[in-house]
Amino acid sequence: MARTTCGLYARCMGVAMYGDGGRMKRTRILLADDHTMICAGFQKLLEPEYEVIGSVRDGRALLQAAAHLKPDLALVDVGMPLLNGLDAGRELKKLMPNIKIIFLTMNSDPDIASEALRIGASGYLLKTSQEDELLLAVQNAVRGISYVTPQIAQTMEQIFIRDPKSLTRQRHLTDRQVEVLQMLAEGRSMKEIAYILQISFRTVRFHKYRIMEELGVGSLAELVQYAIRHSMIPQH
């Protein structure tokens, strides 16, 4: 089988439909992680049973690749550049409502896991999870069963018992504000952000101050800390 690498997306040569002998089609999986070695490891683990159709390194590339390749399932890193995994996943579910999304992260914050489930995630795992746990999460997702790594699930349950509303609170930033916030936190200038998003410099500046007002922060440093706490930027 031809292999793909991070930063590229292409169709593989595995069984993609009913083939000779009436074989059932294999689940088509798209990988999204900005770490090349992690992508390669996931691909090696999954390919014996599933069809890995490609891999990408940022949230925007994920949306483009998914629209082109039509995966059944996406394995998505929460902290990716340009557009973080959660917001890319939210847009992906709008684009392809039936797609299964499994998020992976180094961040065990239950609030982030709750946000992932709110947008329709089929799974949420820590990158420190065992290989068998990832395979179990994929198997469950294919069958329509959600899976959250036990360490996080237990914490979510404890928080919910103390405050049933705590895991259902929504944030108040628009999709565009989230994009601007992430790029500011990545160290991009307002001029660069305007170019990437195809909006005016003045509009970017307006969004920046509305974000700071909404989050109750007074400096770019505090914005960066907010983005780090919510896994909006990659942690290397």
- Residues 166-211 pLDDT 10s: 444 445 777 788 888 888 888 888 899 998 888 888 888 878 878 8
pLDDT at 56: 94
Q: Which two tokens stand for residue 3?
A: 């292999």
Per-residue pLDDT averaged across 156-173, rounded? Answer: 50
pLDDT at 156: 55
Q: How far is CA 142 from each of CA 138, 145, 193, rounded to the nearest angstrom?
A: 6, 7, 37
Sheet holding 100-105, edge to edge: 51-56, 28-32, 73-77, 100-105, 123-126, 147-148
CATH number 1.10.10.10 is the correct assignment for the domain at 175-229: yes
Q: For the chain, give every residue range classified as CATH 1.10.10.10.
A: 175-229
Percentage with pLDDT > 90 across the chain: 33
Contact predicate 101/89, CB 8 Å? yes
Residue 76 has pLDDT above 60, yes or no: yes
Q: For the chain, give every residue range classified as CATH 3.40.50.2300.
A: 20-162
pLDDT at 210: 80
Greater pLDDT, 169 or 42: 42
Q: How far apart are CA 77 and CA 38, in angstroms?
A: 10
225 CB-near residues (< 8 Å, 6+ apart):
none
Mean pLDDT of the chain: 79
The CATH homologous superfamily for domain 20-162 is Response regulator (3.40.50.2300)
The predicted-structure confidence for 204-230, as pLDDT tens digits, reads as follows: 887 887 888 788 787 888 888 888 777
How many Cβ atoms sit within 10 Å of the Cβ of residue 182?
Answer: 24
Q: How far apart are CA 114 and CA 130, in angstroms?
A: 22
Q: How far apart are CA 235 and CA 126, in angstroms?
A: 14
